[in-house]
């Protein structure tokens, strides 16, 4: 099997980008070891701090964030980074071709129950001159690479540099990522959906109607049965979509009018959308392709619908209908 380094060498990407991706991969091996040791390393539980999102930080949120910061600072190819755990961008130096956005430990609420977690990252070109928050506000179409690492029964890396999606599995004996799927392809049709049903009463009318029709199964207008799967970690739910198809959505809701969206654009929605599109799927907010959004802030949140192309297209048809005469939900 090809190693990650050998696979990157076959792609038409700059040596500096290959180096950066190797650094991210190497750091994820160290993160994987920390996650696996869990209580043995004293890394479980929460801190007394909240991040900029207003979320209580887990110990591993802080540890993994520092691991990635240290590795990227030493790498030399990165000018600045933006993280879910940092209030503002962190400038690393005067030189380097890239900006990196990341969620160091997606699904951290799963840590203490030994369920799936992961790292998500997005690589953008660094502009000339001084780097600040504005430098990061590039649409997802500008990403030169994106990926995630899933820390599960096996540690797996999904990666795109704009040449399709490759899936690697960490060999725990050699510490190398080995290529296990050179061309990930998402089936266009599916009978699986992933959504947090506890928010159902707060969704907009289009999503209420769409999910309601899925739940009706064969007796409903879709005339087929659907299964629901929900991991409560975006990295796990999207990995399932890449592995066997499906539709994943965290839609707009009005539970908290100040926060109608859950997922962050720069380090969750954009990298996952690039992976899904490169594997033949589709992503949208319900009204706009996610990769076309012009960001307004590094911690901006958006609605997310992504997965099998035909099913996403069907969901978007519901969003194109006029619900003005429907009763209020």
Residue 256 annotated as part of some ligand binding site: no
Helix, strand, coil distribution of the chain in percent, nearest 5: 35, 25, 40
129: left (phi over 0), alpha (psi -120 to 50) or beta: left
Residue 167 annotated as part of some ligand binding site: no
Beta bridge partners, 83, equal: 102
- Say which residue the tokens 């076959």 belong to: 10
CA distances 108 to 45, 102, 119, 124, 259, Å, are: 10, 14, 10, 25, 20
Going through 127-270 in order, the beta strands assigned E by DSSP cover: 145-151, 155-160, 166-171, 176-181, 192-194, 227-228, 247-250, 263-264
Residue 308 annotated as part of some ligand binding site: no
Residue 199 annotated as part of some ligand binding site: no
Closest C-alpha to 187, from 135, 240, 228: 240
- Cα 296 from Cα 312, distance rounded (Å): 25
Residue 107 annotated as part of some ligand binding site: yes
Residue 109 annotated as part of some ligand binding site: yes
- Say which residue the tokens 């096996």 belong to: 154
Residue 196 annotated as part of some ligand binding site: yes
Residue 224 annotated as part of some ligand binding site: no
Around Cβ 173, how many Cβ atoms within 10 Å?
6
Residue 108 annotated as part of some ligand binding site: yes
Closest C-alpha to 190, from 243, 239, 245: 245
Closest C-alpha to 91, from 72, 105, 104: 72
Residue 253 annotated as part of some ligand binding site: no
- 43: burial class by Cβ within 10 Å (0-12, 13-18, 19+)? middle
Closest C-alpha to 236, from 115, 68, 85: 115
Binding residues: 84, 103, 105-109, 196, 262, 268
Binding residues for Mg(2+): 84, 103, 105-106, 268
Binding residues for substrate: 106-109, 196, 262
């Amino acid at each position: 099997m090809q190693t990650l380094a050998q696979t990157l060498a076959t792609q038409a990407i700059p040596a500096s980008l290959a180096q950066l991706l190797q650094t991210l991969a190497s750091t994820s091996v160290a993160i994987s070891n920390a996650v696996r040791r869990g209580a043995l390393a004293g890394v479980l539980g929460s801190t007394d701090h909240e991040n900029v999102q207003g979320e209580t930080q887990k110990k591993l949120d802080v540890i993994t964030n520092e691991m990635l910061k240290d590795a990227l600072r030493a790498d030399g190819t990165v000018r600045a980074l933006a993280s879910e755990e940092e209030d503002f961008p962190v400038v690393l130096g005067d030189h380097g071709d890239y900006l990196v956005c990341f969620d160091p430990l997606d699904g951290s609420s799963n840590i203490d129950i030994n369920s799936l977690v992961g790292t998500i990252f997005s690589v953008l070109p660094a502009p000339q001159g001084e780097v600040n928050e504005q430098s990061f506000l590039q649409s997802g179409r500008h990403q030169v690479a994106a990926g995630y690492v899933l820390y599960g029964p096996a540690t797996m890396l999904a990666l795109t540099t704009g040449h399709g999606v490759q899936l690697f599995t960490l060999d725990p004996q050699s510490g190398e990522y080995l290529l296990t799927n050179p061309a990930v392809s998402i089936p266009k049709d599916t009978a699986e959906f992933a959504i947090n049903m506890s928010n159902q009463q707060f969704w907009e009318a289009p999503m209420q109607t769409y999910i309601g029709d899925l739940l009706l199964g064969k007796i409903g207008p879709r005339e087929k049965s659907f299964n629901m799967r929900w991991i409560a970690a975006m990295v796990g739910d999207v990995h399932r979509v890449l592995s066997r198809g499906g539709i994943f959505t965290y839609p707009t809701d009005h539970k908290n009018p100040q926060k109608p969206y859950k997922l962050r654009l720069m380090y969750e929605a954009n990298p996952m959308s690039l992976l899904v599109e490169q594997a033949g799927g589709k992503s949208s907010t319900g009204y706009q392709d996610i990769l076309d959004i012009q960001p307004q802030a590094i911690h901006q949140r958006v609605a997310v619908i992504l997965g099998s192309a035909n099913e996403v297209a069907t969901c978007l048809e519901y969003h194109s209908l006029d619900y003005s005469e429907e009763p209020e939900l």
